[in-house]
Structure formats: C-alpha cells, structure tokens
Amino acid sequence: MNTQITIAGVTFKNPVMTASGTFGSGMEYSEFVDLNQLGAVVTKGVANVPWPGNPVPRVAEVYGGMLNAIGLQNPGIDVFLERDIPFLKRFDTRIIVNVCGKTVEDYVEVVERLGEEPAVSMLEINVSCPNVKEGAIAFGQKADALYGITQEIKKHARQPIIMKLSPNVTDITEMARAAEAAGADALSMINTITGMKIDIHRRRFALANKTGGLSGPAIKPVAVRMVYQAARAVKIPIIGMGGIAGAEDAIEFLLAGACAVSVGAMNFTDPCLTEKVIKGIESYMEQYHIENVTDLIGAVEES
Amino acid sequence: MRKQKETAGVLSQSKIAPGIYDMWIETGIAADARPGQFICVYPRDKSTLLPRPISICEVREDRRALRIVYRVAGQGTAEFSGYREGEPVSVMGPLGNGFPLEAAEGKRVFLMGGGIGVPPILELAKELPVPGQIIVGYRDDRLFLKEDLEKYGRVYIATEDGSAGTRGNVMDAIAANDLQADVIFACGPMPMLRAIKAYAQEKGIPAYISLEEHMACGVGACLGCVVKTAQVHHHTNVNNARICTDGPVFEAGEVEI
C-alpha cells in the first residue's frame, strides 16, 4: 500500500496534515500525537512582527462547530525561526509554514526569511482570515487582488506556495483560477466561513470581535463542494479541509478532488485525531484494495 | 506530568446546591494532579464540539480518583449532570500550572473562593504546607463544600444576602473578621479577583489568582483563552498569556484584569 503523495515536487508520506491555527506549531500536540506519523505540520500563521490578536472572548461554540476570532496572534518571524522551526525539525514530517500579513511587503518579508530555512518545505499564504481588518482577507476576496499578491509572493518565494482560499466569495472557481494564473503551486481550502452568535440572555455578541470564522463538521459539505468545484477549474493540486472529524470525511475530500487533507477544529475535540485519520485511510484502502492513495483523488463517479 | 485524554469512569454524582453538581471520577489523571489545575471534560453529544474546562476540587488519597464540583451553565454541563455511577466520561488532564504551594511556606495565607470558584480551594487547603484562613463567598446560605473546607482550616463565610456569615463579599469578610495575610490564593468571578488584586497591591503582598476564559483546545494551541499581561510574555512574545497553559494561576501583578 502506498500512501505517498506529491505536491509541487514535494513528497509527503501520507496526505494528512494539520490545518493552520488549530495545531500551534506542533509542540502543544506532541504529547498526544507522534508528529513523525503526519504527512505535514502546517503551522499557525506567522507575520513579520508579533501580533497581539483580538480581545476575548475569542471562541464560541455553535451547533456542530465553533466560531473563532483569534486575530492571528503570533510571536513574529524571529521567535518562530528560533524556537518553533528547530522543534519541528526534530521530527520526520514535512513543515509547511502559514504566512500572514497586512501589506504585500509584510508577506514578502516573511516569505524571504523563510526562504533561508531549508527545513520548510512549502509556504501557505493566508489571504483568507476573516478576523483581521487590514490585509489578509482583503487579498482573498477579489480575484484581481489575489492575482496580484500571488504573483508578487511567487517572485520572492524559494519554496512552492499554497494559496489558502476563503469560502466567503461568490464564485470559488474564479478565485482558484486567479491564483493558478498568477503562479500558485497549490491551493488549500476552505478557510473558515464568517459567522456570528448572539447570547440572547445577555443580549451580547458571543465574540468580542462580533463576527468570527465558523469551523467544524457544520461546514464540511460546503468545503467538499468548493474543493470539487475548484478541482475541476484548475490543474494545480488542492489541499482540502473543513470539518474533518474522521477518515471517512478525509476520503470524501480526496474523492472530491483534494490530493491532501488537513484536520482542523476537530483536533480540539480529539487531540489524537490526525493519527486516527491516517490509520482510517489505510483501512479504507485495504478494504477496497486500493494500491495508491493517489487513485482516490477526484475519483468520485460522475455519471 | 504528561497530559492524557482518556475515557474514565464516574464513581458518584450528587447535586449539592441548586445547579451545582459534585462528581467523583476514577482516572489516571489523578496521579499527577495538583491544586489549581483543571481537566477538560468532553460532552458525548456530537453537536457540542469543545471540551469544558473544570477545576479539580479534590484528589483522592490513593491518587486514582478526582472530584469536580461544577455549575450547570449550558448544554455540556447539563449533560454531565446526568451522568450516573459506572458511566464513562471523557476527560483530559491534568492541565495548567496550579497554585505555587511553596509561596505559602511559613506565611499567613488567605485562601479565597467565590461561587463556583470555591471548589479548587479545597484541594489547595488540603495540600498547603501551612493552615490557611479560608474565606469563601456565596450568593446565599446554600453553602456547598463548607464542611469539607473546615477540615483544613478556619472558614470565614460571606453571603450576598447576609443569610450566612458576613453580609457582602469576601473582602467584607476580611474586614469584618480583621484578618491579615502575607500571601493570597484565590479563585472566583472577575470582580472579586480585581478587588483582591487591588487589596494585595495596597498591602504589598503577592496574590495568586486563578482565571477562566472561553477555551477551545485546552492545551495552548488555539490561543482562544488569553489574558493581557503587564510584560511581553516569554512564550507568546506579545502582551498575552494563555490561561490554559501559562495559567490558569497567575500572580495578580502579571496580568491586566
């Protein structure tokens, strides 16, 4: 059985990764998960300088999911390179670093710093966080803006780049095509869906930020649909995510056209979930006599 | 002290005040649990995704079981309150740093709890190297855990409606009984913790306060449960600390509350 996949020339031992922001830099979950088993660790977003993030409450539970408005709190690229990368290097897994910024120059600065770190296999560009007011999502909701920033980052990036797309758009295929045309090596989707919760007893918003990103099983059907649409619109590989709670969900994403998957919010429910998804995919391959996991990609019957 | 997630067993459960439940759980987490640490309890209902952080109230002598005393605040805790002896319960822990017991060595100590902040004070009183002056505040005379606390120190009560002890809050109880301390340990609602912080600053004594905030992961990854800090925090590199991992206990002067 072969679970190996390749994205933009980078090989991964299996298609299971961690969704940015739900797994820290791996350290916090290393007590629960053998990081060596993972296809890749995708880190929490990192900016050129430390970001304090939003006021609390930053998280709220909703039916079948959660809202978050962390606001991309991060220690900045200096501390990240000194502390988090050396930790992750101790493991036999790929490192994908999620990059955030407020301006094109911010992104480029981080991308250039990461270019000097050969242990980082790929960069995931966060142009889809709904919880920061400047930059970020502004680049991810207009096709021409996405095209521009992708092209600019591509000029400076040493590693292949993954553009992480927002679902908060009218037509996901338009965004996918714009990123591909600008030179993106891969896409990841979906980031969270903008949502809101109101506490009716206190007549207050559940989050200090009022709105937050919805994640968890509640968004999975939306994510599967968008991955399917994007996979038919572009040739570059897609990493699928959104509410994966088990191997069955991961396989659904693969069949829809994703070549890899990320486990996100459900890490909070089950800190050992990533390993279970890997084992579950293997059992499925055994059950259906599938030799290569790549045979599952986009293999949903069309008729 | 490795964190673990496991399916543990409910040993007993009872209601000890309106909306307040007392559950003993047989779990390996108890082996290393310290006062002021907490556990995450996971609802079975799949529509509820996130664990509920609940403070450790007591650890059994053989360190194979622990006790949580919690308030039903929503769907998850309502589910827990229905668990009966012999049922499974999904838990993770021990989490957080706990109270620094060594700070009490040779000192006059206040152990202060307010409302659903009273439970962690019990294990703290039990393990403290010196007898503490236990000052606890309740809404009314339905005083849960009072008898348990009395085994480990002199207990001073405050109630909002004056139906037991001093009328008012824990600060009023300190004044009414003319109590003195060199160090404070506390858990309770934010107004109480703010009053304690101000009192400790005025007296020039340290106060170790246990904070709570909405959490998602419980292990320091999601950055959901932060508190503003006076200094740039060594881990986050910003003026924020993670309550679940860097806390829940902080010296009051370290945090902006």
Domain ranges of chain B: 4-95, 101-256
Minimum distance, in Å, between the CA of residue B70 and any CA atom of chain A: 19
Minimum distance, in Å, between the CA of residue A158 and any CA atom of chain B: 27
Exposure pattern of A4-14 as b/e (b: 16+ CB <10 Å)?
ebebeebebbb
Taking alpha carbons only, the member of B94, B79, B92 closest to residue B13 is B79
Report the pLDDT value the prediction gives residue B71, as an integer from 0 to 100: 98
Whether residue A246 lies within 8 A of chain B, CB to CB, comes out as no
Mean pLDDT of the B159-181 span: 97
Chain B residues with CB under 8 Å of A219 CB are none
Rounded distance, CA A252 to CA A269, Å? 20
Whether this prediction's pTM lies above 0.90 is answered by yes
Rounded distance, CA A248 to CA A240, Å? 13
Q: How far is CA B153 from CA B37, B168, B196, in A?
A: 21, 21, 20
| pLDDT at residue B1 greater than cutoff 70 | no
Q: CATH for B101-256?
A: 3.40.50.80
Report the pLDDT value the prediction gives residue A132, as an integer from 0 to 100: 67
Angle formed by the axes of helices A172-181 and A220-233, nearest 10°: 50
pLDDT above 90 covers a percentage of chain B that reads 98
| pLDDT at residue B91 greater than cutoff 80 | yes
Q: Are A255 and A102 in contact (CB under 8 A)?
A: no
Mean pLDDT of chain B, nearest integer = 97
Whether residue A75 lies within 8 A of chain B, CB to CB, comes out as yes
> Which residue in the list A100, A129, A259, A272 is annotated as catalytic?
A129
Site of tokens 């996405």: A146
Q: What are phi and psi of A141, to 5 degrees?
A: -110, -5
Answer yes or no: same fold for B4-95 and B101-256.
Answer: no
Chain A residues with CB under 8 Å of B217 CB are 22, 28, 267-268, 271
Rg over alpha carbons for chain A, rounded to the nearest Å, is: 18
Chain A residues with CB under 8 Å of B240 CB are 52-53, 73
Rounded distance, CA B121 to CA B125, Å? 6
Q: Do B238 and A51 touch (CB under 8 A)?
A: yes
- Sign of the alpha-carbon torsion through A126, A130, A132, A135: positive
Rounded distance, CA A179 to CA B162, Å? 67
Q: Which CATH superfamily is domain B4-95 in?
A: Translation factors (2.40.30.10)
- Told to judge if A129 belongs to the known catalytic residues of this protein, a careful annotator would answer yes
| pLDDT at residue B70 greater than cutoff 80 | yes
The 10s digit of each residue's pLDDT in B37-57 is 999 999 999 999 999 999 999
Rounded distance, CA B167 to CA B170, Å? 9
Report the pLDDT value the prediction gives residue A138, as an integer from 0 to 100: 74
Rounded distance, CA A57 to CA A41, Å? 27
| pLDDT at residue B115 greater than cutoff 80 | yes
Burial of B2 (0-12, 13-18, 19+ CB in 10 A): exposed
Q: Do A267 and B223 touch (CB under 8 A)?
A: no
For B165: left if phi > 0, alpha if psi spans -120 to 50, otherwise beta; the answer is left
Chain B residues with CB under 8 Å of A271 CB are 5, 92, 217, 219
Mean pLDDT of the B75-102 span: 97
| pLDDT at residue B84 greater than cutoff 80 | yes
Burial of A177 (0-12, 13-18, 19+ CB in 10 A): middle
pLDDT in tens, chain A (303 residues): 999 999 999 999 999 999 999 999 999 999 999 999 999 999 999 999 999 999 999 999 999 999 999 999 999 999 999 999 999 999 999 999 999 999 999 999 999 999 999 999 999 999 977 666 555 677 888 999 999 999 999 999 999 999 999 999 999 999 999 999 999 999 999 999 999 999 999 999 999 999 999 999 999 999 999 999 999 999 999 999 999 999 999 999 999 999 999 999 999 999 999 999 999 999 999 999 999 999 999 999 998
Q: Do A23 and B221 touch (CB under 8 A)?
A: yes
Mean pLDDT of the B195-203 span: 98
| pLDDT at residue B109 greater than cutoff 90 | yes
Domains along the sequence of chain A with CATH: 5-54+70-193+215-296 (3.20.20.70)
Put simply, the chain A residues between 204 and 233 with a CB less than 8 A from any chain B CB are 216-217
